[in-house]
Structure 1
Amino acid sequence: MVNVNVPVADEFQAPGVGLFDFPPLWDGAPYWLTKPVLFAVVGVMLVCGLAWAAFARPKLVPRGLQNAGEYAYEFVRDQIARPFLGRDAERWMPLLLSMFVLILLWNLLGVVPLVQFPINSHIAFPVIFALVVYVLKIYLGIRHQGLGGYFKNMMFPPGLPKPLAIALFAPLELLYTFVTAPFTHAVRLFANMFAGHLLLAFFSAAGFWFLIVHPTVPGSVVGVLSVAMAVALTGLEIFIQFLQAFLFTMLAAMFIGGALHPEH
């Protein structure tokens, strides 16, 4: 039977969506000037600083930051840009490399002590990235194919019977291009960062509660298991943070490549 007289303070309170609500940095500051915005700006400045340090004075034999920067460049070029952009890969590398590194850094802030918040778990940031890619895709498609050619290539691919295209394929393709694609592009990144942060917060809070705040013999077992899960999930989260940066940038390259080369 539950003891209704036990105060709430003596019960474990699981973290909720309140983890993602941040007040302004100081009283009177704009409502949007919060911790995630501050660290988003810091992340941008850090990426710019690292790029400058790595490539401002390149050496024939790369070392240090230049070596790391070249590895990152080659990874994005060979695994993301070239498979989808072909001969245009080098032209789009500044955008794709910057996008990959910044998204990855913003994700990794979720496991950095004292920060411990992945910037992309706030939906506004993935949405801005997705909208940039979306507008660029539409612009490039119309510029390279013409307005009529863009919609024709999108809705009526060669070899598909016209009645089938009109009745089924064209409406679905319009829905995908203008609604589903940009929506899923943003939400995939946001949802993974949101869920990962919530899980890490839950197991960390459970371990702290049962081992430090309210230690008991039975609770210590739960606390140790919670800490072990938090450690394991941190390793998994780092992998997912890298994977989501890769997938987001890969989809951006795919959208740009499709606009430039609709025949593929």
Structure 2
Amino acid sequence: MSLTALAGSVVAADSSFPPTPSTFWQPLVVFGEVQLFGQQMTIALTRPMVVLALTMVAIGVWLHLSTRKVAVVPSKGQWVTEQAHGFIREGVARDMIGSKDFLPYVPFLFSVFIVILFNNWAGIIPMINLPTFGRVGMAAGLTLIVYVLYHAIGFKRHGFLGYFKFMVPPGLPVVMVPIVFLLELMTFFITRPLTLALRLFGNMFAGHMLVLVLTLGAWQMFQTGGIYSVLAFPAWIASLGVFVFEMLIQAIQAYVFVLLSASYIGAAVADEH
């Protein structure tokens, strides 16, 4: 398998247009198929799985090397780790959850942030060029963890019936209670997880496609020859600008995801709606 394919190129194995599901489904190893909920499911090792595993190893090595010799006067690696941790602790967890309840959730939020950040930045690393969360299944899996967590916190904090009662702000007119309850029920159980997953997936997928269009389009123009070869160079320069811009967007999306996750946890532990 070529490095381009391993990097997650969306160029189809055939030249058919428009793209088909096979354009995006290019497993590295297929182990077999099983029946699940009446559907035929393929068990396979995919490129996003490999990239996720590599980034987890990179995160583990970084955290180990930067914290194995903790000192009052930090090394450069320790300083970077402390700054990232302090940013999530003070700028996200404390602000969104509150100074009373935030501390137990800092490790989780910090872990979510660096996992998303490393996997998003994998989309601009040469020879990889694959943002893991540009695959909707990956974004949905991470969202499911947050979804289960903040509901579990809410049920534990308020009790089963109390959690549903908590969704309705006090002081509403009686006729408004059913309407508000249904809206809040949809927000807590449907809208929040959908928007959290699709926002991350959509931004990573769109940015990846934009980079591919510019770089592969420029290469095609260069191979065409003539005036197109000259025009290919401005396209490549533009792609470099998009790379820098995409790096910023990838960091922002990691921040937005963890910020919203902290706000949902904060809402679950709050004493009042």
- Matched residue SS, 2:235: helix
Alignment of 1:139-218 (within 5 A): 139-154=152-167, 156-166=168-178, 168-211=179-222, 213-217=223-227
RMSD: 2.1
The correspondence of residues 20-169 of structure 1 with structure 2, limited to 5 A, is: 20-25=24-29, 31-87=43-99, 88-154=101-167, 156-166=168-178, 168-169=179-180
Distance 1:16 1:241 in 2: 25
Contact 2:120–2:204 (Cα < 8 Å) also in 1: yes
CA distance in 2, matches of 1:138, 1:214: 56
Task: Tell me the number of residue pairs that the alignment of Structure 1 and Structure 2 aligns.
Answer: 248
- What amino acid is aligned across from residue 210 of structure 1 in structure 2? M
Structure with greater proportional strand content: 2
Q: CA deviation at 1:59?
A: 0.8
Gap runs ≥5 in structure 2: 1-14, 33-41
- In structure 2, distance between residues paired with 1:159 and 1:28: 58
In structure 1, the residue corresponding to 2:98 is in which secondary structure? helix
- Deviation of 1:16 (Å): 5.3
**2:3 paired residue number:** none
* Cα deviation, residue 216, structure 1: 1.4
Between 75-84 and 104-113, the greater mean CA deviation after superposition: 75-84
SS in 2 for 1:32: strand
One-letter amino acid matched to 1:72: A
Q: Deviations over 1:221-263 (max 9, x none)?
A: 5322321221111111001100000000011111111111142
2 CA distance for matches of 1:20 and 1:230? 22
* Residues 81 and 28 of structure 1: CA distance in aligned 2, closer, same or farther (over 3 Å): closer
2: distance between equivalents of 1:141 and 1:206? 50
User: Residues 189 and 248 of structure 1 are in contact (CA less than 8 Å); yes or no, is this contact kept in structure 2?
Assistant: yes
Moved over 6 A (4+): 12-15
TM-score, reference length from structure 2: 0.85
Deviation string 1:143-173 (CA, Å, 9 cap, x unpaired) is 010111110011x21122121121x211111
In 2, distance between residues paired with 1:19 and 1:100? 30
The alignment partner of 2:162 has SS state of helix
- Asked if the contact 1:82/1:89 (under 8 Å) is kept, the reply is yes
Q: Does 1:247 align with 2:259?
A: no
Q: Give 1:79 shift.
A: 1.7
Listed as ranges, the gaps of 5+ residues in structure 1 are 1-11
With structure 1 as the length reference, what TM-score do the two structures score?
Answer: 0.87
Alpha-carbon distance, 1:13 to partner: 9.6
